[in-house]
Structure 1
Amino acid sequence: MDKQKIINLKLMAISLVVGIVAGLVVGAFRFAIGQMQTFWLTIFKAAHAELWLLGVILLGFIIIGLVAGYLVKQEPHAGGSGIPEVELQLQGKLHLNWWSILWRKFLGGVLAIGSGLFLGREGPSIQLGAAIGQGFGSKTSQTNRRVLIATGAASGLSAAFGAPLGGTMFVLEEVFHNFSPRVWLNSLTGALAANFLVSNLFGQKPVLAIPYNHPFDVHLYGHLIILGIILGLVARFYQWGLLNGKKIYDKLTFIPRFMHGLIPLFLLIPIAFIMPQIIGGGNELILSWHSINAIKLLSIIFIVRIIFSIISYDSGLPGGIFLPILTMGAILGELYGLIMVRLGMLPEGLVVNLVIFSMAGLFSGIVRSPFTAILLITEMVGSLLHLMPLAVLALVAYLVNDLLGGKPIYESLADRMETANLEVYADNVDELTVTIFEESKLADKEVKEIKWPEKTLVKLIHRGAHDIIPFGKTKLLAGDLVVLEVDSKCRSKVYDQIKAMQK
């Protein structure tokens, strides 16, 4: 066995350990959030008979807001979902203290998400996993460290949703933007290990196990086009709202930034008192979709959820938008289905299909990761019956959002970050792997014809199962993975330059 294969096997062994540890941490995170939400729901229900308990809730929420806000004040990158931070880390633009992130994200996430705010656990779970990967990779090369960060991120999402394939695809498609064999192989290893662990803790039942037995006939696909257009429009509005909501918070200069979380917590009290069944990320709301079949009530719930999701996220408290997006998609699918049933244009038994399809459609439109949407919902629901119509709806929503000028939400959030004070890596030499896409301007060009960024050396080309040592006349082909040796201080700059060169 050659030296490189031994190195790869060692890295895979570390990835396995990263997956196990990420499974333990995220499993505990899931459990703690569930217990916290149950606790607050119990108090809210009791408050209908004992109104004085509203004072207890108010005091508790003030403590939660101040504690979680202070944790984010100490470590700003522990706020929000954490996915933009992971994306910047993998680009070499951001270096974080993994331990500082890990414990603050865990505690702050349990407090904020467990309170019932419209926040999801998946983004924080991805960052928790990434922090664990970074910790295990602290004594390895920077290239291997990034592979382990990606592995941890995939493991975190896998543990959060019981979706190892969706977790791996999300990291490749949306976060890492690189389908390198080293990345996907180690990410899948960690994701499978994490899923195995949480399956033993929470059982093997899919997170969103919604039973249905009727296939969606091809002659009804016109509904998918109409619904896809609606989802694409809603996705664009949500992107706009999420990116501009923070501007409203910024105008509240009389309230310290770390106390902005008190605003959604105060607003949550009347919402939870009146409609306790709709609070939280939305997992239970999706599973009980059939219990609410009034069009007017569903419309009100959707409006409340989309507005309050933006308010919750832009406050800066730890929490993600993954599950809230799926919840809004499920509500829109049921709304459309019920309207069509009332009009006599759709069998009532197919409403559940649209609930499932729309989760993938809205996710695809907002996050702009259609393959992840398809795999994720397939794993979370636990059925392949919906694969074709689900893919059609995801594609239509994606295209509509694209035509409206939408961009991947996590990439947009990363771009929005203040980067002036980001701490970049400081070692001398680093590696950057780039994929030559089919439409890339670098495809079919010889290495010597390309004006590479300063301090950049083309070190290796992965082509299929072969590794090619490049020469000046070596032609780059679509699908090649090109390994560049760069000055680590300029890595992020080279990353952006290569990205621009391919367009």
Structure 2
Amino acid sequence: MKLNTTRFIFILRGILIGIVAGLVVSLFRLAIEFLLECVIRLFKLGHFDVKFLGLLAIIFLVIVVVVGKLIQAEPNIKGSGIPQIEGQLSGELEMDWWSVLWRKWIGGVLSISSGLSLGREGPSIQLGAAVGQGLAEVSKIKGSGRRVFIAGGASAGLSAAFNAPIASTLFILEEVYHNFSPLVWTTSLSAALAANYISLSFFGLTPVLNMKNNIQFPISQYFNLILLGIILGLFGLLYQYLTLNSKKFYKHFKFIPQRYWSIIPYVILMFVGYFLPNYIGGGNRIILNFSDYIPGVKFLIILLIVRLIFSVLSYGSGLPGGIFLPILSLGAIIGALYGVIAAKLGMLDSHFIVDCIIYAMAGYFACIGKAPFTAILLITEMVGSLQHLMPLAVVSLISYTVVDLLNGLPIYEALLEQLNKNPTRQGSNIAFTDKIRIPVFVGSLIQDRQVRQINWPKNSLLIEIERGEKHILPHGDTIIRSGDTLVVEADEKNQNIIVKEIKYLANGTESH
């Protein structure tokens, strides 16, 4: 009997990717946590001796200059890195993996650990993807295999950042790669599991957001979930609008070079850090504090406004840092605010305020990223409890629906579109015939049609149809079914255009 080793080999490759990416991201996470603690201590000491505030101001100024130089040398390290990876996997841009890897690591550590409202998850994804790309290039793997390595590395990076391997794999498939190809998910899952093992060896088995609340939410209180979901959806639209238009604010400061825009959020940080030292950083500290103490309504409203503005301006400056964790922390604040008000009005038992915080984190991410399945699994893994699955799903679905009805876009796709207005194609000049996999959805333009009846894009060739475990060699009379995955061969230079045209045929829309 001949063994089918294709997927097994990719699983082994995924494990290798996960081990390397797990080490890189775990060290990244360790450095951020240690340095952030130092910054918080300096802010607290500044209440007793102003020289510590002066020291922080000098440190922040050095960070502005150093990170600005890193961004100038490698523009692809700006922001979270997720839009860049999404663009790379779709063939819209290219990167030099080594240049991105070391600059993103240093720039991310300096930016995130300084206390700005930036998350480690986006940079961790980009660091993992850079590891995957590097291993692919060292192994001389090109085309679809190379993309599988990049996707696996991205999954490993997120897994090491949050200790959530299942959600990390789903996030890459649902939000970044948009493809559930067997090779992609097996490689991504094995990489995520290996990276999570490495990360757990560094940080232990305690969930990242251990909220210490396993009380089941009563059915009689589900009307609160509906209201919470609607509120989250509306706030999600606000966050999207502010984030996507944040650069308009910075353009008013024409005297500041773009690479040094970060001076503005650092000025804000000096004030926030002085008055609220325990509420700076990406936001996981805020979320964990809610497990022990929930402030009153006035403080929560002030905290929501401050964190919303601070998060938008921190990300809009272009510093290497993500929005993932800031989004979760904003969702937690909204959930706490809703829970406290509902409890005061007699609509909710105060014991369930923490539950509202947990559900709001998932709902807020679900509507902003438009990735509800990822949101549900992510919070489940990060909180470490299966008791909340049904309420998480209800809040996520409602908040997602609100944003979808009001034409909100997935935040990372929207950021990629902005990035492509001024594309930066760096790295090696890759030119080869590539295979791309595109799923066919129910109700698409090509469902139940013969191959010969479809107007295929130029410079593309349908070479295979994946139908479950079957691999069909298509001919003119082959009928395409919903659920199929089309394997199309295309020149790498035309890949972006071809993908968009075939996605329009297979999905009925240019963006999935």
Tell me the TM-score normalized by structure 2.
0.96
How many angstroms apart in 2 are the aligned matches of 1:133 and 1:405? 34
**Consecutive unaligned residues in structure 2, runs of 5 or more:** none
How many angstroms apart in 1 are the aligned matches of 2:366 and 2:7? 33
How many angstroms apart in 2 are the aligned matches of 1:62 and 1:34? 20
Asked whether 1:84 is paired with 2:83, we answer yes
Q: In the TM superposition, what are the counterparts of 1:336-485 in structure 2 within 5 Å?
A: 336-419=338-421, 421-423=423-425, 426-485=430-489
Q: Name the residue aligned to 2:500.
A: 496
- Per-residue CA shift, 1:309-330, capped at 9, x if unaligned? 0000000000000000100111
* Secondary structure in 1 matching 2:209: coil
Question: How many Å apart are 1:211 and its aligned residue?
Answer: 1.1
Q: In structure 1, what residue type is equivalent to 2:460?
A: T
Q: In structure 2, what residue type is equivalent to 1:414?
A: L
Asked whether 1:184 is paired with 2:185, we answer yes
Question: How many Å apart are 1:420 and its aligned residue?
Answer: 5.3
- Per-residue CA shift, 1:425-450, capped at 9, x if unaligned? 64241111100011211111111111
Question: How many Å apart are 1:94 and its aligned residue?
Answer: 1.1
How many angstroms apart in 2 are the aligned matches of 1:399 and 1:119? 27
Q: In structure 2, what residue type is equivalent to 1:385?
A: Q
How many angstroms apart in 2 are the aligned matches of 1:179 and 1:478? 14
Question: How many Å apart are 1:39 and its aligned residue?
Answer: 0.8
* Secondary structure in 1 matching 2:211: coil
* Secondary structure in 2 matching 1:431: strand
Q: Is the Cα contact below 8 Å between 1:93 and 1:422 reproduced in 2?
A: no
- Per-residue CA shift, 1:12-36, capped at 9, x if unaligned? 2221111001100000000000011
How many angstroms apart in 2 are the aligned matches of 1:488 and 1:278? 46
How many angstroms apart in 2 are the aligned matches of 1:317 and 1:451? 44
How many angstroms apart in 1 are the aligned matches of 2:266 and 2:464? 52
Q: Name the residue aligned to 2:126.
A: 127
Question: How many Å apart are 1:288 and its aligned residue?
Answer: 0.8
How many angstroms apart in 2 are the aligned matches of 1:39 and 1:253? 33
Q: In structure 1, what residue type is equivalent to 2:122?
A: G
Question: How many Å apart are 1:333 and its aligned residue?
Answer: 0.7
Question: How many Å apart are 1:354 and its aligned residue?
Answer: 0.5
Q: Name the residue aligned to 1:270.
A: 271
How many angstroms apart in 2 are the aligned matches of 1:156 and 1:328? 23
Q: In structure 1, what residue type is equivalent to 2:26?
A: G
- Per-residue CA shift, 1:346-391, capped at 9, x if unaligned? 1111111101000000000101000000000000000010000110
Match 2:306 to one of 293, 304, 307 = 304
Q: Name the residue aligned to 1:335.
A: 337
Question: How many Å apart are 1:419 and its aligned residue?
Answer: 4.7
Tell me the TM-score normalized by structure 1.
0.98
How many angstroms apart in 1 are the aligned matches of 2:437 and 2:421? 23
How many angstroms apart in 2 are the aligned matches of 1:270 and 1:134? 41
Q: Is the Cα contact below 8 Å between 2:336 and 2:353 reproduced in 1?
A: yes
Q: Given the superposition, is the C-alpha separation of residues 482 and 283 from structure 1 closer, same or farther in structure 2, using an over 3 Å criterion?
A: same
Question: How many Å apart are 1:2 and its aligned residue?
Answer: 5.2
* Secondary structure in 2 matching 1:206: coil
Question: How many Å apart are 1:293 and its aligned residue?
Answer: 2.3
Match 2:490 to one of 475, 486, 489 = 486
Question: How many Å apart are 1:421 and its aligned residue?
Answer: 4.5
Asked whether 1:136 is paired with 2:140, we answer no
Of the structure 1 ranges 247-256 and 448-457, higher mean CA displacement relative to structure 2 is found in 247-256
Asked whether 1:193 is paired with 2:197, we answer no
How many angstroms apart in 1 are the aligned matches of 2:215 and 2:425? 53
Q: Given the superposition, is the C-alpha separation of residues 208 and 463 from structure 1 closer, same or farther in structure 2, using an over 3 Å criterion?
A: same
Q: Is the Cα contact below 8 Å between 2:85 and 2:176 reproduced in 1?
A: yes
Q: Name the residue aligned to 2:293.
A: 291
- Per-residue CA shift, 1:45-65, capped at 9, x if unaligned? 111110122111111100011
Q: In structure 2, what residue type is equivalent to 1:472?
A: G
Question: How many Å apart are 1:142 and its aligned residue?
Answer: 1.4
Of the structure 1 ranges 254-263 and 407-416, higher mean CA displacement relative to structure 2 is found in 254-263
Q: Name the residue aligned to 2:24.
A: 25
